[in-house]
């Protein structure tokens, strides 16, 4: 299926690995021009280098970063059609998962909200003039934790719930003006957040007295009730993101597309 993204300009945050990297790769395959945002590049992102890819090194925790990112993308490619707010998870200095609500201090809450919600607010503010002009699209990457509260990720859950709510509000206000706004909510995805040394898999393995491979291959899928029996692949999330970014989804507005391997059981 032609996604009708050829020549479109996209900004993707959290673009150097995991879901963001898969989104960048897929958009490039569809003929889009991509400004890939991350604190630093990776060999995997460098491998995609070409005239249609611009790496924008930026720290989204800095209030001025979003405006600078959008300006660079618009200058390099002549405008902006798609904003993918993918950056999220634990910011520098914060370790997730926790063991209790009491583990998160006030500064932890501020940091988690800064990256997972307030940075998105700033990105949207910066991008909206371009998106309104070109009747573009916003895709916010939220989480099933926005719907499924968890005491081990309480601050993250609250921030993602705010992001999902924000998406609905933006869709209601700017949809009539031609900007489509939707959310993709992944469940547990096999990304570096899980697989890196010291990542979630290692943390859970230490607490459970087992090894990281057992955690990812069987313990977590069973514990979280994943119907497919495995963690979700980043590409499976990227496919949903790119579909929502595409004019093929012109009738989809304010939706929350869940890609969670069957984790959420409620209607």
pLDDT digits (tens, 9 = 90+) for 99-113: 899 999 999 999 999
Domain edges within the chain: 9-189+233-259, 190-231
Instruction: Using a pLDDT cut of 70, give the percent of the chain over it.
Output: 100
In this prediction, residue 246 carries a pLDDT of 98
Residue 185's pLDDT band, with cuts at 50, 70 and 90, is very high
pLDDT digits (tens, 9 = 90+) for 52-66: 999 999 999 999 999
Give me the DSSP letters along 217-267: IIIHHHHTT-TTSSPBPHHHHHHHHHHHHSGGGTT--S-EEEESTT-----
**Alpha-carbon torsion 195, 196, 197, 202, what sign?**
negative
In this prediction, residue 199 carries a pLDDT of 85
Q: Indicate the range of 118-127, 134-143, 210-219 predicted with least confidence.
A: 210-219
Nearest to 24 by CA among 52, 66, 60: 52
Catalytic positions are: 156
Please list, residue by residue across 35-69, b when 16 or more beta carbons sit within 10 angstroms of its beta carbon and e when fewer do. bbbbeebeeebeebeeeebbbbebbbeeeebbeeb
pLDDT digits (tens, 9 = 90+) for 145-171: 999 988 889 999 999 999 999 999 999
Q: Is pLDDT above 90 for 194? A: no
Q: Is pLDDT above 90 for 89? A: yes
State the fold for domain 9-189+233-259. Rossmann fold (3.40.50)
Residue 208's pLDDT band, with cuts at 50, 70 and 90, is confident
pLDDT digits (tens, 9 = 90+) for 35-85: 999 999 999 999 999 999 999 999 999 999 999 999 999 999 999 999 999
């Amino acid at each position: 299926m032609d996604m009708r993204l050829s020549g479109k300009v996209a900004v993707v945050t959290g673009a150097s690995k995991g879901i963001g990297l898969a989104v960048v790769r897929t958009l490039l395959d569809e003929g889009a021009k991509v400004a890939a945002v991350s604190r630093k590049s990776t060999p995997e992102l460098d491998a995609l280098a070409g005239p249609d890819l611009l790496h924008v090194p930026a720290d989204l925790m800095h209030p001025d970063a979003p405006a600078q990112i959008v300006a660079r993308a618009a200058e390099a490619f002549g405008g902006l059609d798609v904003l993918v707010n993918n950056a999220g998870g634990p910011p520098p200095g914060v370790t997730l998962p926790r063991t209790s609500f009491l583990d998160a201090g006030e500064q932890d809450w501020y940091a988690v909200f800064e990256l997972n919600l307030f940075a998105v607010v700033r990105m949207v503010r910066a991008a909206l003039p371009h998106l309104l002009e070109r009747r573009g699209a916003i895709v916010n990457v939220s989480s099933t934790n926005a719907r499924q509260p968890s005491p081990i990720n309480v601050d993250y859950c609250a921030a993602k719930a705010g992001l999902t709510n924000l998406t609905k509000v933006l869709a209601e206000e700017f949809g009539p003006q031609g900007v489509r706004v939707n959310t993709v909510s992944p469940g547990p995805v096999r990304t570096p957040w899980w697989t890196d040394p010291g990542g979630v898999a290692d943390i859970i393995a230490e607490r459970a007295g087992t090894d990281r491979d057992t955690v990812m291959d069987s313990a977590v899928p069973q514990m979280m009730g994943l119907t497919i029996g495995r963690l979700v692949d980043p590409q499976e999330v990227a496919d949903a993101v790119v579909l929502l970014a595409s004019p093929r989804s012109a009738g989809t507005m304010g939706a929350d597309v869940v890609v969670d391997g069957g984790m959420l059981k409620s209607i």
